[in-house]
Amino acid sequence: MNPGAPAPDDGARWRVLGLVCLALVLSMTTWFSATAVTPELIAAWGLSPADASWLTNMVQLGFVAGALGSSLVNLPDIVAPRKLMAAAAALAALANLSLLVAPSVAALFVARLVTGAALAGVYPPALKLISTWFVRGRGTALGAVIGALTLGSASPHLVRGVVEHIDWRVVVAVASVATLIGAAIFAAFAREGPAPFSRATFDPRQITAVLRNRPLALANIGYFGHMWELYAMWGWFLVFVTAAPPSLGVPSAAAASLITFAVIGVGALGALLGGVLADRIGRTATAAGMMAVSGTCALLIGVVFDGPVWLFAIVALIWGVSVVGDSAQFSAMATEVSDPRYVGTALAVQLGVGFALTILSIRLIPVFVDWVGWRWSFILLTPGPVIGVAAMLALRRRPEARKIAQGLR
């Protein structure tokens, strides 16, 4: 990043942040569009429980392939973010829309795979682009970006919960149209700020420089622990609530969808809260604190599995806030401790490997359920936050941590 760049106009940078966040909310609806209608897809295609888990996992796998593939050719550092995000969002919309005409289960999975790969061209570049507008206050700004991603991911559950008997095809179509609108907003308004990162040229050897960066490695380990928990919780919470005994007091499938939307959607506030805290007390401290709370909630949610519903809701909502409240800070740390020429690549590597871990945790949950039942299923996620807290405390002690959050660490 150019240290001599002029300070951004406050009105312009907040306007760009707002428009990019709006486009992200719209675009990320495709992520969980199939997950929100899983029961209908199971009935329509005769899917097994293992097959159903791949409705989410194929998106994760596609995202991993897209993120790591783009990092190998330094794509996020070569192509202007505006062009990359617009094209990728349009591709995600078309891939999601193809669910309506998929001729087989295999085609269904391929559509989800392509959707994930396309979204890898939306989310990482958005983090990089917003960072060019916010040198100070970056934690809060990236928290807003993660909040937008969270709301977009949760929104299909809202559609399903509000209109219980709507055809699943309408949910998919609405998500696809929303993503196309997001692509248009990216194309028109997602311009870089006055503090851009240096442009890179294609050089596959530069990925080794990213991998050798010790402070970045610790930031990444923290992110990996965070990701072990996050998407497995998001992906399985609807099934978890549905499996709860009648004593919990959830009256219908629509109510379960609304509860799931609330638990995931409240993470938008958590992301903003995490950003504000990070800019005031430091990123490593905020990330460690959030993971300590979320890991505790992963343990406690089983304790309140059979009610009362108000206590279940309190634990679940605190978990929803804390499980994503630290997410933006790992990305912010990556922009601060990386070589400025390869920030896009560093972000793509961090996100790619992190999402690869989500494939494993999402797939292991139903296996673990066979042993312990749904009540204690989320205990499997607790090692992630524990490892993440340890990584953050280790990073905080390193001298390079002075680069983080203007010295707040």
Q: 293's torsion region: left (phi>0), alpha (psi -120 to 50) or beta?
A: alpha
More confident residue, 387 or 345: 387
Share of residues in the chain with pLDDT > 70 (%): 92
Mean pLDDT on 53-75: 81
Sequence letter at residue 290? M
Residue showing tokens 């391929």: 110
Retrieve residue 48's tokens. 């097994």
Mean pLDDT on 110-134: 90
Q: What is the pLDDT of residue 81?
A: 84
| Secondary structure of residue 31 in the 3-state scheme | coil
Q: What is the pLDDT of residue 131?
A: 85
Q: Rounded CA gap, 84 and 76, in Å? A: 8
Q: What is the pLDDT of residue 202?
A: 47
Q: What is the pLDDT of residue 3?
A: 45
User: What is the number of alpha carbons within 13 Å of residue 220 lying toward its C-beta?
Assistant: 22
Transcribe 214-279 into DSSP letters. HHHHHHHHHHHHHHHHHHHHHHHHHHHHHTS-GGG---SHHHHHHHHHHHHHTHHHHHHHHHHHHH
- List, in order, residues 6 or more apart from 255 with CB less than 8 Å away: 161
Q: By residue range, what is the domain housing residue 254?
A: 10-407
Q: Quick check: is 286 in a domain?
A: yes
Retrieve residue 232's tokens. 């497995």
Q: Rounded CA gap, 34 and 176, in Å? A: 11
Q: Rounded CA gap, 170 and 179, in Å? A: 14
Mean pLDDT on 316-323: 96
- List, in order, residues 6 or more apart from 159 with CB less than 8 Å away: 36, 166, 171, 174
Mean pLDDT on 345-368: 85
Q: Quick check: is 69 in a domain?
A: yes
Q: What is the pLDDT of residue 37?
A: 79
Q: Quick check: is 3 in a domain?
A: no
Retrieve residue 231's tokens. 């998407």
Share of residues in the chain with pLDDT > 90 (%): 43
Alpha-carbon dihedral sign for residues 89, 90, 95, 97: positive
Q: Quick check: is 1 in a domain?
A: no
- List, in order, residues 6 or more apart from 39 with CB less than 8 Å away: 253
More confident residue, 378 or 50: 378
Retrieve residue 355's tokens. 């999402």
Mean pLDDT on 74-95: 88
Residue showing tokens 């202007």: 80
Q: What is the pLDDT of residue 77?
A: 72
Instruction: Establish whether the linkage from the previous residue to 308 is cis, with ω within 30° of 0.
Output: yes
For the chain, give the mean pLDDT: 86
Q: What is the pLDDT of residue 269?
A: 93
CATH number of the CATH domain containing 374: 1.20.1250.20
Q: What is the pLDDT of residue 195?
A: 76
Of 213-222, 289-298, 390-399, the range with the highest mean pLDDT is 289-298
Nearest alpha carbon to residue 156 among 2, 265, 70: 265
Is 1's pLDDT higher than 50? no
pLDDT per residue as tens digits for the range 18-37: 999 999 999 988 987 887 77
Mean pLDDT check: name the lowest of 117-131, 286-300, 314-328, 382-396.
117-131
Q: What is the pLDDT of residue 9?
A: 64
First to last CA, the chain: 19
Q: What is the pLDDT of residue 198?
A: 60
Mean pLDDT on 132-155: 86
Retrieve residue 237's tokens. 């919470």
Domain count within the chain: 1
pTM for this model (two decimals) = 0.80
Residue 94 confidence class, pLDDT cut points 50, 70, 90: very high
Residue 346 confidence class, pLDDT cut points 50, 70, 90: confident
Q: Rounded CA gap, 285 and 281, in Å? A: 7
Q: Quick check: is 5 in a domain?
A: no
Residue 407 confidence class, pLDDT cut points 50, 70, 90: low
Q: What is the pLDDT of residue 220?
A: 94
The answer to whether residues 361 and 228 touch, using CB atoms and an 8 Å cutoff, is yes
Q: Rounded CA gap, 212 and 209, in Å? A: 5
Backbone phi, psi, residue 47, to 5°: -75, 145
Alpha-carbon dihedral sign for residues 15, 17, 23, 29: negative
Is 234's pLDDT higher than 80? yes
Residue showing tokens 């392939």: 65
Mean pLDDT on 54-69: 84
The answer to whether residues 269 and 260 touch, using CB atoms and an 8 Å cutoff, is no
> How long is the chain?
409
Q: Quick check: is 4 in a domain?
A: no
| Secondary structure of residue 208 in the 3-state scheme | helix
Q: Rounded CA gap, 171 and 406, in Å? A: 44
Tell me the chain's radius of gyration from C-alpha atoms: 20
pLDDT per residue as tens digits for the range 246-268: 988 888 878 888 899 999 999 99
Mean pLDDT check: name the lowest of 85-94, 256-265, 290-299.
256-265
